[in-house]
Structure 1
Amino acid sequence: MAAAGAAGTVARTSSAWAAVSELVWATWDSNGHPEYVVDFEKQTGTKIKLSYLSSEDAQFAALKTGSAADWDMINPSLNGSWRYIKAGLLKELDLSKIPNASLMYDVFKTTKKAQNEAGKTFAIPYLWGLNPIIYRTDKFDKEPDYNTLFDAKYSGQLAMRDYALESIAIAGLVAGVPRDKVFTMDAKELGEAKKLLVAQKPHLRTYWQTIGDLTNLFATGEVTCAFSWRVPYDELKGKLPVGMAKPKAGVMGWCDCFAMPANLPAEKAEIAYKFVNYLLGPEYSTQVARVGHYATTSSVIRNKLTKEEQATIFIDDMDVMKNFMWPVAPDNYSDWLKIWNEVKAS
């Protein structure tokens, strides 16, 4: 049972953290709309400056090389957090400063993926969902699957995300690798996946980096089928005939985490704790559910949503998460990145 008042709004308890005029949040453009954080800004007097990410690999590289010195809060994936933790890039988190963490669904509250080997926590899961195939229903006779993304019949109309982990895994599924082994492929299986991706490249309109760019490509008719986030579906339904396919081979689930860079100054860390508590609270949860159609890891507003609203963000039946494929960056991920760079250079 959550502690009483855990979900409440942010209170001004310290002039020290209130004096922090701005925090830079590196996140995805779908997670960090300005309207999602305006309540926090009003409550604290601290401006949230949004710095949108192009890929998780780029985020990790920027932190590791020190080229992201202005970031105060970052957005590692749950299944990729181990890379940041192992590299010493994240600050250990004090859960006593995040009371709304007590409201998280058990599957996220008990995960070890955001901890180091000693059981210390370095990231907080805050947002999750699935990555489907988005397609123009007037251009396809049947619902597409992963094989469709490699079909020369649709050459010039297809798009893939510029992200090694998911793209190589999808190629592995198309090559026949079982879903429970696709993130631990051996050298031979990776070689087969690479062949498929090299053959696929001439048929792609683009490798997309931001979801806004992909949405625009759908809107202009330049792309009719893509491995995607759900954003183009929500943005364009009612305007264009669009569908959202969940491939039987396995739907890619995702979970984003909040974390702080290891060298974040103490005064900024204090207000950053207030911010992650906000992300797990009612204001952000309501905005991101009703506007962005995503679910937070917190149960704080679940019972306040209609059944239709719950179904839209996949929390009407929490067993749905058992059917997801959760992408996991393997120990040999450097090999995956090498393959991905070779595919794009081919």
Structure 2
Amino acid sequence: MLESMNNANTAYCLTGSADNTDAAGSIHTEGCAHTSEKDFTAGAVHDSSALTNTGFAGATAIETPTGKSTQQKCGFFAGTGTQESAAGFPTGTPAVVQVKIINGLFKLNAASDPTTPDMRNVGTALGGDINKFWKELHSAAKDYFTTQGKQRTEVSKQTLIALGSKTSVDKHIRSILAATNGTSPQSAKGNIDAEYKQYIGENNEETDKLWSKLEATRVVDPEKDDGSTTELKSLTDPKILAGLLAYYEAKAAAKQKQEAEKITKLKNELADQKGQSPEAECNELESTEKCNEEKICSWHTDVKNGEKNCKYNATKAKEKGVPVTQAQTAAAEAKIEKCSDKKKDDCKFPDCKWEEETCKDSSFLVNKKLSLITAIFVSLLAF
């Protein structure tokens, strides 16, 4: 209806000639064509250009008497002083001038004399609550068409270049080196510039190769539940990519936990071979009192044939504030103390070794090396 205001004076009439018919056949020729189904299709943009920052383009005011017509031409705006016998708005009391249609969009100045405000600027077209209604309607319509016109944000090579800014990459490389070397990111050492050039390039020229590699990477297909995979480049919706990232982060965390458990088990098994595990240390205690006095041991009355009564108690060690690594260290120190009191003739392999005029635990250096190897292995898992 707003657009029809731009069709000159004929837009306000249903027919161009006075007659007694409903004028249905003359509507289109007079500029009042009815709407079509597509005008009401969800998401359809009929004519967004009709919206401006201030109002509706082309919706100039219809002033009296430019919209005036005869009763036969547009009975909807007819007026009558005898409503009991004739159709039309009252021309008496209440007067026809008080008639306001579509929240003030149309007013009757007199019988068959409709007027409309200048809707090119809704801020000044009408006053009071009516003005507020049309201003809010215009704002909502503008927001709708603006949203419809926006492009969906997609991850692209430009995203990679943005993420691969020198400052960002420098920060991440330093963090990785720091984690590997056990230092702070600020004191991390290494040729960071060389690493950056290798993966990003001097002027982002390497991003083409990196982007192609990323696109070709096969990942779990989020649309299927049969374990099939798809190329990463087929997924562009940020929401799907965020869900995929969460999936792989959870999977990586679970794998890291499994590997950590394997390392701990391997470490304990190797320590058992040298008699330096918490379990081995507890097994050496032969009395209930000495066993229960230890922060990491508990005495068990019912044991299988061949098993020791004094066993390592992880729960007790945790309650006493002794973690597994400390318990292992304590066991190693206990072994060292046992060797350090021995004379040269009593310092014998495999438990002890005479070195630099002192009896030392023969597996002490082996234990330190094992810890170092384990630490390096854990660091490598990060890559």
TM-score using structure 1 length: 0.22
Structure holding more helix per residue: 2
Structure holding more strand per residue: 1
